[in-house]
Chain A
């Protein structure tokens, strides 16, 4: 999302004015046509149907994808010759699920505070002239393809962080997350998380910024008029208004982090599950699929397992999205979005 987007939402009053003008223009076109517009009702119904069909079409695509996934996943938990093999699938799947969640959550923990800070900077701290171009610069981060992030993490970042891991291990090895031999190559869960956090930062920033800018000016000015400092104003007027928006932005970022493939493939020394985030090991679901799908024979149990783990990722992302929707809708009445 770019500043343009926020522009639309910010300048509601101006848009209203401009839009009204458009409405007037449209209607003046319409006035000339109105007598001839016998078929208008038909067009109207046709357009409504077209829109409806587009929606139904999406449902059909999705139904096919869902059928495709479920159908092919089934044999991961049921083999003709052995019966149910759920246990085997679970023991295969759980390290991947934990790994995916770990990487994504660490990425969020790094990214979310920074992203909210940047959004605040753009909306409430930056010099007015600068804020627009800064917004553009941050959007640039979103425009960089993930292969490039992967290459950056692989070539530059991991080597740099390797020294940091040695240091962290020296001082904090009593924390299980920093136990284990620090990776000499820096290709660890933590490095992957850092790369992901850079990738999701602009997503969270742009959503949060948009919401911050929409804070009713009256609330802000009222707070300031009562003698609040800028931070107190933000705390009292901006955050309560923006809470739902921030959370949905964070969830959007989480969704992206969960599904990211290539950056993780290129940055992480995948391996078995370990609690340590500074030694090699662990793996995420998308990376597991991307790495192994090509070499796996069609129709083998492994192949079905890979599809099934894709279905699991599908479900995790779905849950994240549903939680986000739920939070947003629960907070709707407090926000001014309507």
Chain B
């Protein structure tokens, strides 16, 4: 990042600098332009002025059609882009005008991308924060004051004003963490080893091409199919275990099954991202290491992986973020419950996305869905914060484990 920004210095000056045939212009004017028409530069107030003009004109036109904020903003943006382009073209020249046009379009793209982000964060926060501040939201299970499961009559009590919104998300929080963590522990070694094989060992043989191809295929598995597969695989393994007389869980529906299903979704993401990251490690490093007589496995563990660690951490985070929000495969593999369950191999587990989905689509009290919506948005807020925290942790991991940078 530092490097790229450093190199931008000439770019910045070039935009302000002469774009047209500069030889024909009096050098004095380039240094100190007197007015809009003085040379091929436009004064600093030019863009804000056009923007203001566009805003006024936009307001006029939109109020003629029927004023809405959206319409006004859209019209202003369009008028602004056209205005800047036309004036620049007339006063300076077509090349500079094109440059300005694209510059404005890029800016608009950026603003456009921010709108949904702001809107999502806003809508999640407004109701979600309310849900989050309900007493015991993070610490209690999905139960009422007496520790009995939540049900519509409790929410009816809320409606009647007898008590506040009851029911916490501790059960889903625990389930989400336990299942995602287990899935990560299974997926990351397999995924990382596979990409090490692909990058360091495979020499384009049929096996490596097969793996690359099938990893691509795996990214296309619909998540519900992954869930079905996880359930079927677990039934299969439990059957084998039972026939061997090993002590096996009686239910195939448990946290571990969900983790296995999530692995099917997670492994390809891990392989694809870490493979990419291992590939950008320069070959000179490996050769330097080999030249010093270091064995290949040590080179990989001590040179290649540390060099790529920040990328690997980012890739793993991406994979975690991808599966922590999964809904469909969890419901059929881990069931749904109202209580905290830490045991991965016995009993059902709830997760945050399943909880959110259920609260949205099947409110606890169908006739009074406000408490359910509060809880759902609150849980969504928590889920977003977890993913953000994970992202942050990945950055820290990258920061502390990456080889120390020199020359900074």
B-contacting residues of A (Cβ < 8 Å)?
A: 1-27, 29-31, 34, 37, 40-41, 43-44, 46-48, 50-59, 61-62, 64-66, 68-69, 113-118, 120-121, 123-126, 128, 131-132, 134, 137-149, 151-152, 154-157, 198, 201, 205, 213, 217, 220-221, 224-225, 227-234, 255, 258-259, 261-262, 266, 285-286, 289-290, 293, 307, 310, 313-318, 320-322, 325, 337
A121: contacting residue among B106, B289, B302, CB under 8 A: B106
Contact A321 B95 (CB under 8 A): no
Chain B neighbourhood of A113, CB < 8 A: 109
B297 CB within 8 Å of chain A: yes
Known A-B contacts A9-B280, A224-B14, A232-B95; the reply to A148 vs B356 at CB < 8 A is yes
Smallest beta-carbon distance B239→chain A, Å: 15
Known A-B contacts A23-B288, A151-B360; the reply to A143 vs B321 at CB < 8 A is yes
A62: contacting residue among B217, B294, B398, CB under 8 A: B217
Can you name 23 A-B residue pairings with CB atoms under 8 Å? A1-B315, A5-B314, A5-B315, A17-B405, A17-B406, A22-B307, A24-B292, A58-B218, A58-B271, A65-B221, A68-B225, A125-B106, A128-B8, A131-B1, A132-B1, A143-B388, A146-B325, A151-B356, A156-B123, A198-B120, A217-B3, A230-B99, A290-B328
Q: Which of A47, A255, A315 has the most chain B CB within a 10 Å cutoff?
A: A47
Compute how far the CA of A137 lies from the CA of B120 in the bound complex, rounded to whole angstroms: 13
Contact A123 B4 (CB under 8 A): yes
Compute how far the CA of A121 lies from the CA of B307 in the bound complex, rounded to whole angstroms: 28
B248 CB within 8 Å of chain A: no
Contact B271 A220 (CB under 8 A): no
Compute how far the CA of A126 lies from the CA of B298 in the bound complex, rounded to whole angstroms: 41
- Please, which residue of chain B has its CB at the minimum distance from the CB of A29? B302
- New A-B contacts (9) at CB < 8 Å, excluding given A31-B293, A148-B124: A21-B403, A137-B114, A141-B117, A146-B325, A151-B360, A232-B99, A259-B221, A286-B224, A320-B220
Smallest beta-carbon distance A5→chain B, Å: 4
Known A-B contacts A22-B302, A52-B197, A58-B214; the reply to A255 vs B219 at CB < 8 A is yes
Chain A neighbourhood of B407, CB < 8 A: 14, 17
Compute how far the CA of A60 lies from the CA of B191 in the bound complex, rounded to whole angstroms: 14
- Please, which residue of chain B has its CB at the minimum distance from the CB of A198? B116
Chain A neighbourhood of B297, CB < 8 A: 43-44, 46-48
Contact A19 B285 (CB under 8 A): yes
Chain A neighbourhood of B220, CB < 8 A: 255, 258-259, 313-318, 320-321
Contact B406 A140 (CB under 8 A): no
0 or 1 for each of B194-221: is its CB under 8 Å from A? (1 = yes) = 1011101110000110110011111111
Compute how far the CA of A40 lies from the CA of B297 in the bound complex, rounded to whole angstroms: 9
Contact A58 B222 (CB under 8 A): no
Chain B neighbourhood of A142, CB < 8 A: 318, 321
Compute how far the CA of A334 lies from the CA of B191 in the bound complex, rounded to whole angstroms: 29
B383 CB within 8 Å of chain A: yes
A-contacting residues of B (Cβ < 8 Å)?
A: 1-5, 7-8, 10-11, 14-15, 18-19, 95-96, 98-99, 101-103, 105-110, 112-114, 116-117, 119-120, 123-124, 189-191, 193-194, 196-198, 200-202, 207-208, 210-211, 214-226, 228-229, 232-233, 264, 267, 271, 273, 277, 280-282, 284-285, 288-289, 292-300, 302-303, 306-308, 310-311, 313-315, 317-318, 321, 324-325, 327-328, 353, 356-357, 360-361, 376-377, 380, 383-384, 387-388, 391, 394-395, 398, 402-407
The total of Cβ contacts below 8 Å across the A-B interface reads 387
Compute how far the CA of A146 lies from the CA of B321 in the bound complex, rounded to whole angstroms: 10
- Please, which residue of chain A has its CB at the minimum distance from the CB of B265? A259
Compute how far the CA of A47 lies from the CA of B222 in the bound complex, rounded to whole angstroms: 33
- Please, which residue of chain A has its CB at the minimum distance from the CB of B114? A137
- Please, which residue of chain B has its CB at the minimum distance from the CB of A225? B10
Q: Report whether over half of chain B's contact residues are helix, strand or loop; otherwise say mixed.
A: helix
- Please, which residue of chain B has its CB at the minimum distance from the CB of A33? B298
- Please, which residue of chain B has its CB at the minimum distance from the CB of A215? B4
Compute how far the CA of A118 lies from the CA of B105 in the bound complex, rounded to whole angstroms: 10
Contact B119 A156 (CB under 8 A): yes
Contact B102 A231 (CB under 8 A): yes
Known A-B contacts A55-B194, A57-B190, A121-B106; the reply to A18 vs B282 at CB < 8 A is no
Contact A12 B282 (CB under 8 A): yes
Compute how far the CA of A17 lies from the CA of B2 in the bound complex, rounded to whole angstroms: 15
Contact B321 A4 (CB under 8 A): no
B383: contacting residue among A120, A126, A148, A313, CB under 8 A: A148
Q: Which of A11, A55, A320 has the most chain B CB within a 10 Å cutoff?
A: A55
Chain B neighbourhood of A5, CB < 8 A: 273, 277, 310-311, 314-315
Q: Which of B11, B95, B202 has the most chain A CB within a 10 Å cutoff?
A: B11
Contact B314 A69 (CB under 8 A): no
Smallest beta-carbon distance B172→chain A, Å: 12
Contact B8 A120 (CB under 8 A): no
Known A-B contacts A26-B302, A145-B387, A285-B222; the reply to A58 vs B217 at CB < 8 A is no
- Please, which residue of chain B has its CB at the minimum distance from the CB of A52? B197
Contact B219 A317 (CB under 8 A): yes
Chain A neighbourhood of B302, CB < 8 A: 22-23, 25-26, 29
B107: contacting residue among A121, A123, A285, CB under 8 A: A121
A6: contacting residue among B1, B106, B361, B377, CB under 8 A: B1
Contact B311 A8 (CB under 8 A): yes
Smallest beta-carbon distance A213→chain B, Å: 5
Known A-B contacts A18-B406, A40-B295, A68-B228; the reply to A51 vs B201 at CB < 8 A is yes
